[in-house]
Chain A
Amino acid sequence: MGAGRYLLAALLALLHYDLARGVAPLLCSSTICAINPTLNTIILEKPYCFYTSSSPVTVALYVARNSAESNKLELTNTYYTTDRGRSAPYVAATFKNPVCAGDPTTADIGEYVYRVGDNENCFNLKFCNGPLLNNTAYRFLYAFYDTSNVLLYQSSWSAPITTKQGKNPSSIDTWPGARSGGMIVLTSILSVLMFLLLAGLVAAVITSLMTQTKELEPTRHESRSTHVPQKSEGAAPSLSGSERYSTNPQP
C-alpha cells in the first residue's frame, strides 16, 4: 500500500513538474568512496537533478531502519526522538537543493556526497546526523520542501543498505598452514649432510685407529725416515717427543 502511495505521489509530481524524476537515494559510487558503507556511516550521493525548480528548495534527508515501525515523514523527527530511526524516519540533515548542472567533478567530492552518521556530538543541533548502528539495514529518502516547509516532492525509498559488522580479531587464525617447499628441502638436506658428516667423522677415527694398530711399525719408520735426517744429532729429546706423539693415539 505504502509503495503505491509513493508511486502515486511521484506520478503526481511528474504531472506537476516536468523535470522531476522518480528516483531514489544512491550509495556513493565505489570509484569515489572506496570504502562504503563503514561500521557506523553510509555515504550517499546528493540528490543531483532529482528535482529542479527556480524557487529556493530545501532538501531533507530522511533516515530509517529497514524495520522502522512507521514510514511517515515528519520534519520534526530527530535522531533522538525516533530512537535512531527505529520508530520512524528521522531527518538527518537539511541542505540546499544542489544545482543540476552537468556531472559534478571529482574536485568537489565533499559537495557531491553526504556522509550519514558523521556527527557524534550534536546535542544542541536541530537535526542530528548521529552514528548509525553496526550491522543494521537502513533506508533513505530525499524530500524537497519550499521555504514554508510544504512538501514539493519526495524521492522513493532507497533499497536497504546494511552497515558493516566488525569481526573479532581473536577469530583470525595466524597459523601459516602448509610449509614452503624451500624450508622442507633445506631442512632435510641439512639433516642428511649432518648425519653423513658425523658418520664420516666416526668412520675416519675408527679406520685410522685400526690401521694404526695394524701398521704401527712401518708408520713409525716412515715418519722417522722422512723427518729425522736433518736433526738426527742435536735433537734427540724432541725426536723422542715426536715419536711419542705419533704413537699417542695407539691405546
Chain B
Amino acid sequence: MKGNGGIRCFQVLLIIGNVVIGLAGLALTAECIYFVSDQNQLYPLLNATNNVDIFAAAWIGIFTGFAFFLLSILGIIGVIKSSRRLLMAYIILMFIVYCFEAASAIVAATQRDFFTRNLFLREMLEYYQNTNPSNNDQQSKINGVTDVWNRLMLTKNCCGVNGPLDWQNYTSEFRRTHSDAEYPWPQQCCVMNGNGEPLNLALCRLGAPGYLKLQGCYDEIAGPLMRHAYGVAWFGFAILCFAFFVLLATMFYWMRIEC
C-alpha cells in the first residue's frame, strides 16, 4: 500500500464489514432457529408430502449464520494482524460457508413455490383420518396430519384447505369411513361453543352460516410457512450480497499486504 492512512482506512472498512457480517450471521441463526422450532407445528403436513427440504434449508441457515459469526471474528483478527495466512484461511472458509448459505437460500426460495393449495388439499384428502395405512411410516404420517388438521380447524376457525366444499368436491379417506349424511364435513368444522362442542350439530350439517366455518385453512398453513421461508431465503440473500463485497475487498487487501 502506498500511504499508511490508506491502509488504515481500508482496514477499518474491512473490520466494519466483518462486524456487520458477524451480527447478521447471528440474526440469521436466530431466525432459522425460530423457523426450525416450528411455532405453528406444521412440520407433519410437510413431512407427509415429503416436502421437508425447507427445514433442511433452515438447519443449514443455523450453521452458516453461526459460522459467519465465528469467521468474521477470524477476519477481524486477520485484518488487524495483517496476517496473510489467517486471511487466506478466512477467505477460503468464508467461500465454503458462502456456498452453503447460497444453497440454503436457493432451497428456501424454491420450496416456497411448492406450497400450493393443491399440495395440502390432496394430502388432507388422502391422509386425514385414514384408517388404512400401508405401513408404520405411513401410520405415523397419518397421525401427524390428522392431529394438525384437527388442531387447525378447531383453533383457527377454518375448515378444509379452501373451505368445507373440499370434503364434498372430492372423495377422501374421511369420506370412505364417514357417511355424508352424518358427516358432510368433519365435526371440527362446526362452530364450537365454550365447551368445545358444536353449537348446533344439525345446523352445522345444513351448512348454515354461523354454525359452520366456511373459510379455508390455506392461509393458516401457507401463511406462516411462506413468511418464514421468505425470511430464510431473502435475509440469507442479503447477507450473501454484502459478504460478496467484503470478501472481494479482503482478497484485494490480501494481495496487497506485503507489496
Contacts and interface: CB of A to CB of B under 8 A. Distances in A.
Interface centre among B170, B208, B248 (most CB of A within 10 A): B208
A238 interface: no
Interface of B: 49, 84-85, 91-92, 95, 98-99, 102, 105-106, 109-110, 112-114, 116, 118-119, 121-122, 125-126, 164-165, 168-172, 175, 179-182, 184, 200, 202-203, 205-209, 212, 214, 233-234, 237, 240-241, 244, 247-248, 251-252, 254-255, 258-259
A191 B247 CA distance: 16
Interface of A: 28, 31-36, 38-41, 43, 106, 109-110, 113, 115, 117-120, 131, 164, 166-170, 172-174, 176, 179-180, 182-183, 186-187, 189-191, 193-194, 196-198, 200-201, 203-204, 207-208, 211-212, 215, 219, 222-223, 245-246, 249
Nearest to A211: B259
30 contacts: A34-B164, A34-B207, A34-B209, A34-B212, A35-B165, A35-B212, A38-B180, A38-B184, A39-B184, A43-B206, A106-B208, A109-B203, A109-B206, A110-B200, A110-B202, A115-B206, A172-B121, A172-B170, A176-B113, A180-B109, A183-B112, A187-B110, A190-B105, A194-B99, A196-B248, A197-B248, A200-B247, A204-B252, A211-B255, A219-B258
A212 to B, nearest CB: 8
Nearest to A220: B258
Contacts, number: 167
Q: Main SS of the interface on chain B?
A: helix
A222 B180 contact: no
A35 B126 CA distance: 22
B202 A186 contact: no
